[in-house]
Amino acid sequence: MTRPHLRRSISAHKAKDLPGSDHMWPDVSARHHRPTTVIGFAAAAGLLLLAACGSSTPSRSSTSGDVVTVAAAASLAEAFTAIGKDFEAKDPGSKVIFSFGSSATLASQITQGAPVDVFAAASPATMKTVTQSRAAGPPTDFVANTLEIAVPKGNPGKITGLKDFADKSKKIAICAPQVPCGAAAIKVFATAKVVPAPDTLEQDVKATLQKVESNEVDAALVYQTDVLAAGDMVAGIDFPEAQQAINVYPIATLKAAKNPALAQRFVDYVLSADGQAILNEAGFDKP
Amino acid sequence: MSNTQCHGAGRLPLLLGLPASIGILFLLLPLGGLIIRAPWAEAAEVLTSRSAISALRLSIITATVAASITVILGVPLAWLLARPALPGVAVLRALITVPLVLPPVVGGVALFTLLGRSGLLGGPLYSLTGFSLPFTPYAVVLAQVFVALPYLVLAVEGALRAADRRYEDAAATLGATPLAVFRRVTLPLVAPGIAAGTVLAWARALGEFGATITFAGNFPGTTRTMPLEVYLALETNPDAALLLSILLLATSVAVLALLRDRWTSRW
């Protein structure tokens, strides 16, 4: 937002790009001519480098007021990446950094103090763990996602509907009941009165989808957005009971956000017609 | 041996002692944190739960089978690598250590491409017999062997290189066949190395996570080993995950301590 902030943010990013280039800091060191200061800044640049290489966890050390860090459910990866690009174009000077992963993992990172400004979860239950710890403001539901049967290209298991999930001779993958897509799966099986015979209970929806993509299972229950994102390798089969377990995704700004105004602008953009259009294209429904 | 090195009876040079102490703290303090933070009030309930016991049982069985397979395959492989005459041995050694640097998840994907039901070997197997390896305990064992084998090979190869070759030569000049030399001279000479390598391989197999969850899937009783159980518990009940981790640690430490006493006294 303010000029000095922007300058710092830019030079920090340059330092990341050019290892060991302490001369990238002329605007700061020019004011302090003592060599120790220069060494100090070189060390700081080194630390930034370390932080940049260290881990996939979003790091605040290189960010400033104009960067918004968004933790989002894995199923949002494609759509949010596109939204982030649009947002950066329409909000000049801003930069969006994403951390995609299992909602529950992200939620526990946030309650442990991960430097995140916006959280988009794949289920109200995981969002609740964050709002309960008073880390986030009130959430808004922004999309809905429906389960769909995913089969490998050519449907080798000749799957026709949900009842095939009870067939022990077929290889079946569903999400573990502990994660949102697994909880939704339990609901649809209960509605359809089918007792599934899964061969694996996967940790998250992308891992479940991967088993279909690699043709190791005959069928899996994933979100319709995942079937769409998987492209040609995977075909989807709709089933009526899916309507009983529509999964709603909430989004919220976090109280610890460094730049609450920018975080709110990002959330507003996701909720805007432009943001919703991108999400809709990725297969998400209105909440 | 320590007498010849260290005249000042137990005095450790600071230059060695300090980094060693930092190393010890770095390894042990996180475990201490685990133990302090664990909700011991829930311990009885979590640790005696059906899912925990079945995961631990599967872990111990698969890791033990995997360690046995690594011995059967790895000792001859190490023997091959330790022969200086073999051409291209340096390349072979480099290739064999690949699973050490490969992220285990990638190892799991690689196993898929070979042994999955549309894999290079798994495909024909599936079309002939209708059997596919993924999502079975066999897949768990295979994933563990894949990541653990290099540890055993490197440990045994080191022992073979350090062993005095003249004993083998003497046995050979006295008329022993190459196999007899290997069995009666080489193996006893490098037994401590084999023991160390087996322990390493077993421990690595017990902690295996990435290749297992990718290649074998995650189903209670069939493929959900203890590390997978811990990972899943992290999603919903992080406290239980701490307790389960401690159970896995305690089991492995207990087994290793027991083995060390009765089996590897020559360390």
Identify each DSSP E strand in A74-157 by its residue range.
95-101, 118-120, 140-145, 147-152
Please tell me which residue of chain B has the smallest CA distance to A208: B217
Task: Give whole-number Cα distances, B210 to B100, B109, B153, B218, in Å.
Answer: 13, 10, 21, 11
**Neighboring chain B residues of A211 at a CB cutoff of 8 Å:** 217
**Neighboring chain A residues of B132 at a CB cutoff of 8 Å:** 171, 216
The answer to whether residue B138 sits within a structural domain is yes
**Helix, strand or coil for residue A215?**
coil
Closest CA to A174 of A200, A210, A147, A155: A200
Spell out a b/e string for B156-182, using b for 16 or more CB atoms within 10 Å of the CB, else e: bbbbbeebeeeebeebeeeebeeeebb
Is there a contact between B266 and B191 (Cβ–Cβ < 8 Å)?
yes
Structure tokens given for A204: 């998250």
Domain of residue B82, CATH code? 1.10.3720.10
Is there a contact between B159 and B267 (Cβ–Cβ < 8 Å)?
no
Q: Which residues contact B90 (CB under 8 A, 6 or more apart)?
A: none
**Helix, strand or coil for residue A138?**
coil
The answer to whether residue B73 sits within a structural domain is yes
The answer to whether residue B140 sits within a structural domain is yes
Describe the strand order of the beta sheet including A95-101 as a list of residue ranges.
A95-101, A67-73, A118-120, A247-253, A140-145
Structure tokens given for B181: 């030399």
The answer to whether residue B144 sits within a structural domain is yes
Please tell me which residue of chain B has the smallest CA distance to A202: B218
In the predicted model, what is the mean pLDDT of residues B222-243?
A: 89
In the predicted model, what is the mean pLDDT of residues B23-40?
A: 92
Is there a contact between B230 and B241 (Cβ–Cβ < 8 Å)?
yes
Q: What is the DSSP string of A247-283?
A: EEEEEEEBTT-SSHHHHHHHHHHHHSHHHHHHHHHTT
| Residue B220 backbone zone (phi > 0: left; psi -120 to 50: alpha; other: beta) | beta
Angle between helices B50-82 and B137-162 (to 10 degrees): 40
Judge: B231–A203 Cβ closer than 8 Å, yes or no: yes
Structure tokens given for B158: 């080191």
Q: Does A207 lie at the interface with B, CB-CB under 8 angstroms?
A: yes
Closest CA to A225 of A146, A136, A163, A153: A146
Residue among A176, A214, A216 whose CB faces B232 most closely: A176
**Neighboring chain B residues of A214 at a CB cutoff of 8 Å:** 109, 112, 116, 118
Task: Give whole-number Cα distances, B121 to A214, B113, B144, in Å.
Answer: 15, 9, 19
**In chain A, positions 136-195, which contact chain B (CB-CB < 8 Å)?**
171, 173, 176, 178-179
DSSP-derived pairing of the beta strands A200-202 and A172-175 = parallel
Structure tokens given for A126: 């995981």
Please tell me which residue of chain A has the smallest CA distance to B235: A104
Is there a contact between B79 and B246 (Cβ–Cβ < 8 Å)?
no
Neighbours of B206 (CB within 10 A): 26
CA distance linking residue B86 with residue B100, whole number of Å? 23
B208 to chain A nearest CA, in Å? 16
Low-confidence stretches of chain A (pLDDT beneath 70): 1-65
pLDDT value of residue B263: 59
In total, how many domains does chain B have?
Answer: 1
The answer to whether residue B131 sits within a structural domain is yes
3-state secondary structure A27-53: HHHCCCCCHHHHHHHHHHHHHHHHHHH
pLDDT value of residue B84: 67
pLDDT value of residue A4: 42
Amino acid letter at B121? L
CA distance linking residue A174 with residue A166, whole number of Å? 12
Q: Does A216 lie at the interface with B, CB-CB under 8 angstroms?
A: yes
pLDDT band for position B262 (cuts 50, 70, 90) = low
Closest CA to A263 of A140, A78, A119: A119
**Helix, strand or coil for residue A67?**
strand
The answer to whether residue B39 sits within a structural domain is no
Is there a contact between A207 and B134 (Cβ–Cβ < 8 Å)?
no
Task: Give whole-number Cα distances, A172 to A148, A151, A164, B12, B197, in Å.
Answer: 14, 10, 9, 60, 38
pLDDT value of residue A180: 82
User: Domain containing B79: what range?
Assistant: 45-263
Judge: B236–A104 Cβ closer than 8 Å, yes or no: yes
pLDDT value of residue A29: 39
**In chain B, positions 126-145, which contact chain A (CB-CB < 8 Å)?**
132, 134-135
**Neighboring chain A residues of B214 at a CB cutoff of 8 Å:** 210
Domains located in chain A, CATH noted: 3-54 (no CATH), 67-143+248-281 (3.40.190.10), 147-245 (3.40.190.10)
Angle between helices A273-281 and A260-271 (to 10 degrees): 60
For B55, half-sphere exposure in the C-beta direction (CA atoms, 13 angstrom radius) is 28
Give strand pairing partners of A119. Answer: A71, A252
Give strand pairing partners of A100. Answer: A72
Provide the mean pLDDT of chain B.
Answer: 88
The answer to whether residue B178 sits within a structural domain is yes
pLDDT value of residue A54: 36
A29 to chain B nearest CA, in Å? 35
Judge: A199–B218 Cβ closer than 8 Å, yes or no: no
Is there a contact between A79 and A279 (Cβ–Cβ < 8 Å)?
yes
CA distance linking residue B79 with residue B39, whole number of Å? 48
Judge: A215–B117 Cβ closer than 8 Å, yes or no: yes
The answer to whether residue B3 sits within a structural domain is no
pLDDT value of residue A119: 96
Judge: B236–A171 Cβ closer than 8 Å, yes or no: no
> What phi and psi, each to the nearest 5 degrees, are found at residue A78?
-65, -50
Residue linked to tokens 């042994």: B115
Interface test with B, best of A214, A233, A234 (most B CBs within 10 A): A214
pLDDT value of residue A56: 41
Find which of A201-205, A209-213, B1-5, B236-240 is predicted with most confidence, using mean pLDDT: A209-213
Q: Does B236 lie at the interface with A, CB-CB under 8 angstroms?
A: yes
